[in-house]
Copies of this chain bind each other. A is one copy, B any other.
Amino acid sequence: MDGMNELGRRAKEAARAYGGTGEAQKNRILAAIADGLEAGWEAIVEENRQDVAAAREAGIRPSMIDRLSLSRERIYQIAQATREVAALPDPVGKVDFGVTRPNGLRIRRVRVPLGAIGIIYEARPNVTVDAAALCLKSGNVCLLRGGKEAIRSNKALVQVMRRALEQEGACPDAVQLVEDTSRQSAKEMMALNRYLDVLIPRGGPGLIRTVVENSSVPVIQTGVGNCHIYVDSPCDLEMAVRIVDNAKTSRPSVCNAAETLLVHRDVAGEFLPMAARALQKSHTQLRGCPRTMEILKEAAIPATEEDYATEFEDYILAIRVVDSLDEALEHIARYSTGHSEAIVTDSYPNSRRFLEEVDAAAVYVNASTRFTDGGEFGFGAEIGISTQKLHTRGPMGLPELTTVKYQIEGSGQIR
């Protein structure tokens, strides 16, 4: 705990020093990081090679090995992403409210950095730089704790960033890495409410649940997506097929992919075979309710209750035929994680009810859930998709990494 407390203490101190850094200097720091990554790519790839070798030996699955792996090209991409973050507008210092009160007090609400942000994530070394860049641009410092599989890569990347900070005259502790990747260290980090202002977990549902349930630092829950597509009657069935196929199969591992398809009974007989044909191309497994099974027969297997509550992150789609929009809304209210929900419909009143009544970060009419993304919304890079209601919901870009401060100027007012 002593080591973790010391990291926390330093983060808080660094936040105080770094918070007032002007935009020009912040951009110079990010440029120096990008340059440093490109100049030092060989050393980083060498460390990464050792991580990958150890992960292979430990029998880590191929998709995770892929996420863990860095190459010259990937490092250049990360450097480019850092330059893109530098080009985004700085949210700090924006005045979003101001008033002169009858007693002459001048009140101004100004956006300021959150302060010290802890990020707990898994074995994706690109997150190390992406998250740090977003924090630095928004005036925040970060304490990073990545997965143990990426520890050598992360050390190399953080070294580059700390060197860039120092080179540009900023406190290197604005970016710190937790080198102890034990479970215990994650627990200790969650108890740093004296030092950290926010903790953001990025990773699978298990990691996120652990952080939400155990952290005394305020948490932003991100990226838990049990997303639904509801195919209403009447609707454009061809469009519905394209949307379902895109939402399920364009990238099944991400949080805005669809997991369950709800279909109105009046179109189910025609629509489900069309959808099944399209989804066959990607070998997507269909798990259906009894009515779905009647229609799809051997093209599907029976769904369990558990399936409707599962974020598969895979080529698997749960299906349920419903009697009405109300039943679809009930199902979504019960199983949704509040990420992204879509209706495909030709009915104006139903589109309106869906938009109003579904309680989620992003609610769609006639479009794929896959658009819930900072880039697709036009915000630039994001640090995650908030699925809780506190602070913000949806893609978290730079403005969402700030809070407010009231500055009040008087001339001796007392109350």
* Interface membership of A366, Cβ < 8 A: yes
| B377 close to A198 (CB less than 8 A) | no
Given contacts A218-B219, A391-B390, A378 and B412 within 8 Å (CB-CB): no
Return chain B residues, CB-CB under 8 Å to A298.
Answer: none
What B residues does A357 contact at CB under 8 A? 16, 20
Expressed in whole angstroms, the Cα–Cα distance for A27 and B239 within the complex equals 43
Q: Count chain A residues whose beta carbon lies closer than 8 angstroms to a beta carbon of B.
A: 70
Is A415's CB under 8 angstroms from B246's CB? Answer: yes
Contacts of A394 in B (CB 8 A): 109, 404-406
Copies of this chain, complex-wide, total: 2
Which single residue of chain B is at the shortest CB-CB distance from A371?
B415
Write out, one digit per residue, whether chain A residues 140-156 have a CB within 8 A of any chain B CB (1) or not (0): 00000000000000000
Interface presence of A197 (CB below 8 A): yes
A239 touches B107 (CB 8 A): no
Given A413-B367, A414-B246, A415-B376, does the pair A403, B392 have CB atoms closer than 8 Å?
A: yes
Determine if A250 and B193 form an interchain contact, defined as CB atoms under 8 angstroms apart.
Answer: no
Select A406's contact among B351, B363, B407, beta carbons within 8 Å: B363
Q: Is A410 an interface residue (CB 8 A)?
A: yes
Q: Flag if A403 contacts B377 (CB, 8 Å).
A: no
> A355-B407, A414-B370 known; A390 and B246 CB under 8 Å?
no
Partner of A392, one of B107, B220, B356, B404: B404
Question: Which of A332-387 touch B at CB < 8 Å?
Answer: 333, 351, 355-357, 359-368, 370-372, 376-378
Of the candidates B20, B99, B236, the one whose C-beta lies within 8 Å of that of A412 is B236
> Out of B19, B403, B409, B413, which one reaches A390, CB within 8 Å?
B403
Min CB gap A97→B, angstroms? 9
- Residues of B contacting A29 with CB < 8 Å? none
Task: Determine if A80 is an interface residue (Cβ-Cβ < 8 Å).
Answer: no
Question: Is the CB of A184 closer than 8 A to any CB of chain B?
Answer: no
A403-B389 CB under 8 A given contacts A16-B359, A216-B213: yes
**A115, B389: Cβ atoms closer than 8 Å:** yes
Q: Closest residue of chain B to A353, judged by CB?
A: B20
A243 within 8 A of B: yes
CA distance A365 to B407 in the complex (A): 8
Identify the interface centre among A236, A365, A377, A405: most chain B CB within 10 Å of its CB.
Answer: A405
Which of B216, B219, B378, B389 contacts A99, CB < 8 Å? B378
Q: A393-B405, A408-B367 are in contact. Are A414 and B359 (CB under 8 A)?
A: no
Task: Say if the beta carbon of A72 comes within 8 Å of chain B.
Answer: no
Question: CA of A403 to CA of B394 in the docked complex: distance in angstroms?
Answer: 10
Inter-subunit contact A356/B388 (CB<8 Å): no
A198 and B389 contact, CB distance less than 8 A: yes
Are B239's CB and A405's CB within 8 A?
no
B contact residues around A355 at 8 Å (CB): 407, 409
A405 touching B197, Cβ below 8 Å: no
- Inter-chain contact A410/B366, CB cutoff 8 Å: yes
A363 close to B407 (CB less than 8 A):
yes
**Knowing A16-B359, A370-B415, A414-B250 touch, does A197 contact B389 (C-beta < 8 A)?**
yes
Expressed in whole angstroms, the Cα–Cα distance for A333 and B198 within the complex equals: 18
Tell whether, in the assembled complex, residue B101 and residue A408 are in contact, meaning their CB atoms are under 8 Å apart.
no
Tell me whether B408 and A371 are in contact (CB under 8 A). Answer: yes
- Given the complex, which residues of B lie within 8 Å of A406, measured CB to CB? 361-363, 372, 377, 393-394
Additional A-B contact list (6), CB under 8 Å, known A197-B389, A213-B216: A105-B367, A193-B212, A193-B213, A218-B388, A239-B412, A393-B405
